[in-house]
Structure 1
């Protein structure tokens, strides 16, 4: 039996019924989706979405939007990792880097991202998101190509700063785009797909660097060829993005008018709206006083310190290990390929697990365990040829950590509503990530090679801290759900809200059947029937925050 999703009457429709249907009657704080639906729909006609229609639109979105995001994020990770690949091919020696200068080249990218976040939060609300991001991709591609002309620390530092400034927009923009196109159930896996491109970067980048490193040029060093090649590719793809990526579902040329309605209505249960290009000062303030913002900030800061250190020094760690065992630089590059493979499995596998159990906190805690074991192995075992295999296994166990970051972002984005609050919260989280990535490389110094004790010990402690914050965040979200239930009762609504945003169509149908048959697991049929009649999403396109909307359900 097909499941039909019927949308409730919005406030806009109520205005129409009252006989005042001018555009000026639509509150300026409304989500753009509300205005679009007002223009498309007639009177109080309900929109019914059949599962097959939902799947057809979802497929179109996946085919058009997702590949662009995958390629851009792949290039972003690749361009940022070029420094690590270049270090294996003589960058440090040829540019006369000494002391902590190489570490600062790794940190300056994240420092630039840190500086850019306040401005980006405002720009991502005010500007068409796809066009803006395309321009940023173009700029960072040009910057990377120009790095080939840098011959000293000052030149490299300047280029890396601008590279970080332009790249700073990509991840927060992609989180916003994911919220704009997919239901909460779908967001976790889609986020994992584009974030997993970091693993593809480690695999493909290693192979490409291996090949480019063999080019014998009388005028260019191997690392200069790497910078030029990846920079030009990035510039070329920025034109692909600006051509094919729409700024919102309402502006998608690949969707028909009725499909645009479906694309919007399927997001109603998210309770997060689609897009609003007006800056809301109240939502700005709420972002800072909301405790859960700082829980996720703390988690991202904690995971980004190991991330920044390993992404910058990972190839050097392997290089030192394998040099001790008699391998050359090219073999060192190839040994980073399994590192990328583990990243992909951890990132996508963790997302699928979170989708299956409909919880992210437990999966985040679970993914902290392999890096903890890996750090212990690298710290305890002597760096001798007899321990070559277990040391490499320890390094690969550490590489599970990238699966944690997208889950934290997904966890945060699925519990944050209101366009301005979403963008500001993302900016705050990226500040935490940027600061962590700045600190991370500084905990590793070439003088400590090959053990890198200080960096690994600090990473070990931080993985444990993340687990503590997972438990604290989960408890707080449960308290928020209880608080919203009390608000609903005070307003004359049932305490229970049927949240289907994490369910498949089959699961929605099963819940409805259970409610009508024998009620809740406790057998309270009346309560379940009442709960099943609760209309979820009646305030979804009012640009309310998660704390303002009493029907918002927080997910763990």
Structure 2
């Protein structure tokens, strides 16, 4: 069930009956919020303002972040490995240690996201990320590069989970797939334009600074500067959005009350919700899916430039021909997120489609002859399509996990799995197999197959659980506005709210 019938509107007078302290939940006075008259026209106006201001703010940041992540792979084309004396599998480990940093900070981040003002916390993380990227230019050895990569992972660990939570705060459940995809488009644009930008940086002639050092310095400085814009405008909650007027803030809160996902109960970390997250089957299906598909992601992100040179392209052409990879991601991102938004119960089906396309791409790279450059490049483009699943997976978390603490914990566990997959994946790309990496390609393909299996398990679980709740509690369409408001402010999880139904 993707959409529910809108319940009767709650009234301000209903708030006192709920036993909720209306001035403490995300600094929102729900009595005042519900006094504001909300018309369809005003709601559309608020939604348009959110789309025009909030989504680009996150999308540009995510584009910069992914360009920074690709910088290591692109720097290998400018003799970084030779200048730092990297031998054997040291490059693989310098790539993997980034995810050790991400892994180490994922759990502390899930706590801080709940306790601290979310927008300000993310802005500081982005600023540190940019500064640490600039420090890569000062690396002189394998040890220095390992240290820089570790702390870069620490800097990134909060960004995608934080953006997902912000999307859950501001958008209805049925709106979330398209909006998660909208800011994630920055990832695809980074793939499209990142090679061109790096190509341009590589053409800069300087004395004393190598081209690969310039890549880190320039991209890091741009990211750190953008963090100042985030600090000024990225909101902590609908009640603190500086680009919304007072009435618009109230309407922004009204719009999402029926989500019942507890985004307004931030500020206190609830350990009982941690236990519920660990016992929830949907948590582990999402974790196992994420783990498996990121065997592929770790290899593609770290070794794409090297693999492309193995197809017979020159150093600079290897940068330019990475553009179709981002183009393929963008096409499937728009296609599958659009279908998931407008066709009920298709989110997981679209994720399965993207994963199957990537699996096909890996098979093409593995099986096509070496002289078939076009076919192998097409396979590499298809192989990266599964990344279009990230916003759909995030929309499942923001739509189906109620309770702010539980949501942050599930997000942390999923991104821990993301890190582990990205750590393990590059280890199958053996230095002795450079630049074709047949073992890594086969490992990536196996992970994608397992990912499809766990998505099917999650799909079946959601259908079964919704049916079980309908049999026990009846249809959720009969709730009054007061009951909807009570569910949102109850600090309960999706496992405890009888009217909660999963979207898939």
Could you say whether these structures have the same fold, taking a TM-score greater than 0.5 normalized by the shorter chain as the test? yes
| Structure 1 counterpart of 2:74, from 76, 85, 103 | 85
| Structure 2 counterpart of 1:468, from 453, 458, 466 | 453
**Change over 3 Å in CA distance of 1:12–1:304 after alignment to 2:** farther
1:36 and 2:24 aligned: no
- Give the distance between the partners of 1:9 and 1:447, measured in 2 at CA: 69
Equivalent residue for 1:8? Answer: 10
- Give the distance between the partners of 1:12 and 1:279, measured in 2 at CA: 27
Cα displacement string for residues 251-307 of structure 1 (whole angstroms, at most 9, x for unaligned residues):
122222221121011102211133321111111110101111000001111111101
- Larger Rg over CA atoms: 1
User: Superposition pairs for residues 178-197 of structure 1, below 5 Å?
Assistant: 178-197=167-186
SS at match of 1:539: helix
Cα displacement string for residues 313-338 of structure 1 (whole angstroms, at most 9, x for unaligned residues):
0111001112xxxx421111101011
Cα displacement string for residues 441-463 of structure 1 (whole angstroms, at most 9, x for unaligned residues):
11112311343111111221222
1:404 and 2:389 aligned: yes
User: Superposition pairs for residues 139-538 of structure 1, below 5 Å?
Assistant: 139-275=128-264, 276-322=266-312, 327-358=313-344, 359-384=346-371, 387-488=372-473, 495-498=474-477, 536-538=484-486
- Give the distance between the partners of 1:332 and 1:303, measured in 2 at CA: 25
Cα displacement string for residues 384-426 of structure 1 (whole angstroms, at most 9, x for unaligned residues):
2xx1221211112212121122222222221101010000110
**Unpaired runs of 5+ in structure 2?**
none
**Unpaired runs of 5+ in structure 1?**
17-24, 489-494, 499-529
1:550 and 2:488 aligned: no
- Give the distance between the partners of 2:405 and 2:12, measured in 1 at CA: 21
Equivalent residue for 1:503? Answer: none
- Give the distance between the partners of 1:363 and 1:262, measured in 2 at CA: 32
- Give the distance between the partners of 1:416 and 1:8, measured in 2 at CA: 23
What CA RMSD, in Å, does the superposition of the two structures yield over aligned residues? 2.2
- Give the distance between the partners of 1:81 and 1:400, measured in 2 at CA: 16
Normalised by the length of structure 2, the TM-score is 0.94
Identify which range, 399-408 or 277-286, moves more after superposition. 399-408
Instruction: For residue 190 of structure 1, report the CA deviation from its aligned partner.
Output: 1.3
SS at match of 1:218: coil
Aligned residues, how many?
498
**Change over 3 Å in CA distance of 1:437–1:481 after alignment to 2:** same
Instruction: For residue 486 of structure 1, report the CA deviation from its aligned partner.
Output: 3.9
Please say if residues 7 and 265 of structure 1, whose CA atoms lie closer than 8 Å, have aligned partners that are also in contact.
Answer: no
- Give the distance between the partners of 1:239 and 1:117, measured in 2 at CA: 23
Instruction: For residue 32 of structure 1, report the CA deviation from its aligned partner.
Output: 2.9
Equivalent residue for 2:114? Answer: 125
Please say if residues 101 and 154 of structure 2, whose CA atoms lie closer than 8 Å, have aligned partners that are also in contact.
Answer: yes
Cα displacement string for residues 14-61 of structure 1 (whole angstroms, at most 9, x for unaligned residues):
449xxxxxxxx635997437x52134456xxxx653322111001111
SS at match of 2:370: coil
SS at match of 1:49: coil
SS at match of 2:311: helix
- Give the distance between the partners of 1:548 and 1:4, measured in 2 at CA: 21
Equivalent residue for 2:489? Answer: 541
**Change over 3 Å in CA distance of 1:143–1:401 after alignment to 2:** same
> Would you tell me which structure has more helix in proportion to its own residues?
2
